Each structure stands twice: as structure tokens, then as C-alpha cells.
Amino acid sequence: MNNTTMITDTPTPAPAVVRGDSADSIRQARETARAFAVGLTPAPDPSLADTLVLMVSELATNALRHGGGRYTLELSAGPNTVTAAVSDLSPAPPRERTPDLNGDTGGFGWHMIRHLAGHLAISPGPGRGKTIHAQLPRQLALAESTGNARTAGAA
């Protein structure tokens, strides 16, 4: 009888990085996020790509508008999570504000990010500024059914 146990590791893909300083870079960040999520092995929950794209779009937009005009996005994945880390030039933490329902001043981004992310952390950025780490579980449907997804809070 063979008492050998087969251990299989989930492959960890290389991080994907996007540096941006324009509205066009947000499109690139979204495309990179979708390709990153779709390329994960084993395949994550099908809704992960859409959720990650929306979260990355809001993080990058907020960094451009409120974080000094430049950002770096790094996407990484572990066995159970996918993380979008966005660094910008402003040390000021994001702030919740009342959304502008009648104009174009926004106010929806941080609220949306807090709702989408399974976990959020804010740390000092490289040099100056900050990095926002927004994490999603690879299996969104399972996490939602157990009540463990989208319990966001800033650290």
C-alpha cells in the first residue's frame, strides 16, 4: 500500500504592474486586471474578473484625481485571494464623502471600493504617498454564501 500523499500547490502568477498618469492608463489598468483574473489557474469564481476590473477602475481613478496625478497598480494572487495594490503620491487617506447625484464631482469611488473589497489596508507608499491594498477572495460566491466577503474596513 502506498502512503504517499500528493500535495498540489496553486500556482502563484507573477504580479502584473501598470503605471499611470492619464485617463488612458485607467483603460489599461482595467484590461490588465481582466487578463490577470482570467489567466489565474485554477480558474477563480467567474464573477471575480468583473469585480476586480470595477475595483481597479475605481482605485486608479481615485489615485489620478485625488492622489497626485500618478499611480502604480500591482496585481498579485495567492492560493485564496487576489490583491490590487495602488500606490499614489498623496499621503492623505481616502475619505468617504456624499456622492453627487446631480453633477459630475463623483463621490462614489471609495464607498464602492469598500463595498467590493473583502479586505482593505492602507500603508505608507514607497518614498512618499500611500498604498491601498484591496483584496478579493478567489471564490466570491463561496465567500458571500458564508458571509465572509465584502466585510471591508480600512486598516
List, in order of start, the domains of the chain with CATH numbers.
16-146 (3.30.565.10)
What is the model's pTM? 0.79
Give me the tens of pLDDT residue by residue for the chain, a chain 155 residues long: 555 544 445 667 788 999 999 999 999 999 999 999 999 988 888 899 999 999 999 999 999 988 999 999 999 999 899 999 999 999 998 877 766 667 676 667 888 899 999 899 999 977 789 999 999 999 875 444 444 444 333 33
Please, are residues 18 and 28 in contact by the beta-carbon 8 Å criterion? yes
Closest CA to 73 of 108, 112, 125, 117: 125
